[in-house]
Amino acid sequence: MRQFGSLFSEGIEADGFVSRADMRRRREAMLSESLSEQLRRMASVAAHALQPRKLPDLPATVDCILREGMIKPAGLPDPERALSHPDGLCGLVAELSPEILVEAMARGLYVRPLLGALAWWSPSQRVVVTPGQAKIPPGVRSHLRKADLTVEFDRDFDDIVARCARAARERFDGSALPPKLMKLFAAMHDAGFAHSFEVRERGRLIAGGFGIGVGGLYTSEQTFGDSRDALDFGLTVLNRHLTRWGYGLHDARNDRNVERFGGKVLERPDFLRWLKAHMGGGRTGRWSVESTLCGPPMPGLDEAARH
């Protein structure tokens, strides 16, 4: 896997020669944050943690940070032993790399910030979409017919991650990712596991997002969009490609917006059983859009489009 990443670009589509050093400098600049951005992210995390509905989670959260900060447990935690408050917390991240994240996701874990630290999570429920049975939201159908929007994959992964981070900071909901985690996702992209999608209108970027594919599972990480319809268009085209490429589940974690695609809730035991049975397959490497999957509803592909 360490050698595999060298086969792919580092998140930039260049017309001429661009050195690896230049690409690394660009990535460092894009996936870093200024002091004001850092303070805003930290304030957002604090405000989110201090919401009345979140206050009962604080004792277990602080206990986890203090206890595991001292003992630094080795290896990955057992997702079936996750806490119920806060829902899904499994423990702090002691070591992190693309290889470790791939193994963790195959076990049903993902990584997210926890009051300044990074933690492993496996929530009691996940909202998932079966790509081959995904509905087409009403606002997307006109765009499919008119072909007024275009979608691209993996054109500029770093830019999409940076835009998602900017949108999360503006929402002030505690979801903004720290630079360390953004750079890890960029390394996952280099290794062929993380992918971005971009939605453009007459060349202007208006929506996008990124996620990770491991085996038959694709997990959305973050998205942004000038309009819900533009973002839904990108997700519809993404679901069509996931269907064509053999992905069995599109995991949205706790994003209820995917219910418009026919999303359903999976309990943790059912999700973990599904993972064990579907870790083969997937599509590792750089993705490119198949133009035939960007047009009107297709019988046999959009099975749920009319429902």
Q: What is the pLDDT of residue 299?
A: 62
Position of tokens 């765009």? Answer: 143
How far apart CA 241 and CA 75 sit, in angstroms, is: 34
Q: What is the pLDDT of residue 27?
A: 94
Report the domain count for the chain.
1
Position of tokens 């953004």? Answer: 182
Q: What is the pLDDT of residue 157?
A: 97
Q: What is the pLDDT of residue 301?
A: 65
How far apart CA 159 and CA 226 sit, in angstroms, is: 16
Helix (H), strand (E) at residue 197: strand 194-201
> Nearest Cα to 160, choosing from 204, 209, 233, 222?
209
What is the per-residue burial (b if ≥16 Cβ within 10 Å, else e) of 40-67? bbeebbeeebeeeeeeebeeebeebbee
Q: What is the pLDDT of residue 116?
A: 82
Q: What is the pLDDT of residue 199?
A: 97
Q: What is the pLDDT along the chain (307 residues), one digit of tens a residue?
A: 444 444 344 444 444 567 888 889 999 999 999 999 999 999 988 888 888 988 999 999 999 989 887 887 788 999 999 999 999 999 999 899 999 999 999 999 999 998 888 999 999 999 999 998 999 998 898 898 888 999 999 999 999 999 999 999 888 888 889 999 999 999 999 999 999 999 999 999 999 999 999 999 999 999 999 999 999 999 999 999 999 999 999 999 888 778 889 999 999 999 999 999 988 778 889 999 998 898 876 666 675 544 4
Q: What is the CATH number of the domain that holds 102?
A: 3.40.630.70
How far apart CA 209 and CA 79 sit, in angstroms, is: 26
Tokens of 297: 């509803």
Domain that holds residue 263: 1-307
Q: What is the pLDDT of residue 49?
A: 84
Q: What is the pLDDT of residue 9?
A: 41
| DSSP state, residue 304 | T
